[in-house]
Amino acid sequence: MLVLGIESSCDETGVALISSETGLIADALHTQIDMHRAYGGVVPELASRDHIRRAVALVDDVMAKAGRSRSELDAVAVTEGPGLAGALLVGNAVAHAIGWALEIPVLGVHHLEGHLLAAKLSDPAPEFPFLALLVSGGHTQILKVERFGSYKLLGETLDDAAGEAFDKTAQLLGLPYPGGPHVSALAEKGASGAIELARPMIHSPNLMMSFSGLKTSVLTAVQSAENPEDETWRANLARGFVDAVTDVLAAKLIRAMKETKLERVVVAGGVSANKQLRARLTDAVRRRRGEIFFPPMRLCTDNGAMIAAAGLARLESMSEAEREALKRESAFRVRPRWPLETL
Q: Does 175 bind ligand ATP (CB under 6 A)?
A: no
**Chosen residue from 8, 92, 136, 217 binding ligand ATP by CB under 6 A:** 136
Interface characters, 22-41, with Mg ion (x: CB under 5 A)? --------------------
What is the DSSP track for 66-132? HT--GGG--EEEEEEESS-HHHHHHHHHHHHHHHHHHT--EEEEEHHHHHHHGGGGSSSPPPSSEEE
Residue 193 to residue 195: CA distance in whole angstroms: 5
Q: Is 153 helix (H, G, I), strand (E, B) or coil?
A: strand
Q: Does 7 bind Mg ion (CB under 5 A)?
A: no
**Chosen residue from 111, 168, 234, 278 binding ligand ATP by CB under 6 A:** 111
Number of residues near Fe ion (by CB under 5 A):
2
Q: Does 269 bind ligand ATP (CB under 6 A)?
A: yes
The window from 9-17, 80-88, 239-247, 304-312 that contacts Mg ion (CB under 5 A) reads 9-17
Q: Does 294 bind ligand ATP (CB under 6 A)?
A: no
- On whether the CB atoms of residues 330 and 29 are closer than 8 A, the answer is no
Backbone angles phi, psi at 205, to 5 degrees: -80, 50
Question: Which residue lies nearest ligand ATP, judged by its C-beta?
Answer: 270
Residue 81 to residue 198: CA distance in whole angstroms: 33
**Chosen residue from 7, 80, 160, 302 binding Fe ion by CB under 5 A:** 302
> Residue 138 or residue 228: which is nearer to ligand ATP going by CB?
138
Task: Considering only residues 83 through 102, tell me which ones interact with ligand ATP, judged by CB under 6 A.
Answer: none
The window from 41-49, 166-174, 298-306, 334-342 that contacts Fe ion (CB under 5 A) reads 298-306
Q: Would the CA dihedral through 30, 47, 218, 280 be positive or negative?
A: negative
Residue 94 to residue 87: CA distance in whole angstroms: 12
**Partner interacting with residue 180 (select from ligand ATP, Fe ion, Mg ion, none; CB below 5-8 Å by kind):** ligand ATP
The window from 66-74, 137-145, 212-220, 312-320 that contacts ligand ATP (CB under 6 A) reads 137-145
Residue 277 to residue 208: CA distance in whole angstroms: 18
**Partner interacting with residue 88 (select from Fe ion, ligand ATP, Mg ion, none; CB below 5-8 Å by kind):** none
Q: Is 162 helix (H, G, I), strand (E, B) or coil?
A: helix
Q: Is 292 helix (H, G, I), strand (E, B) or coil?
A: strand
How far apart, in Å, are the Cα atoms of 272 and each of 26, 155, 169, 181?
Answer: 22, 17, 17, 11
Taking the complex as a whole, how short is the minimal distance between the CB of residue 35 and Fe ion, in angstroms? 18
- On whether the CB atoms of residues 80 and 334 are closer than 8 A, the answer is yes
**Chosen residue from 2, 5, 6, 11 binding Mg ion by CB under 5 A:** 11
Residue 271 to residue 163: CA distance in whole angstroms: 6
Annotated binding-site residues for substrate read 134-138, 167, 180, 274
Annotated binding-site residues for Fe cation read 111, 115, 302
Residues found near ligand ATP in the complex (CB under 6 A): 10, 111, 115, 136-139, 163, 166-167, 178-181, 184, 269-271, 273-274, 301-302
Residues found near Mg ion in the complex (CB under 5 A): 10-12, 302
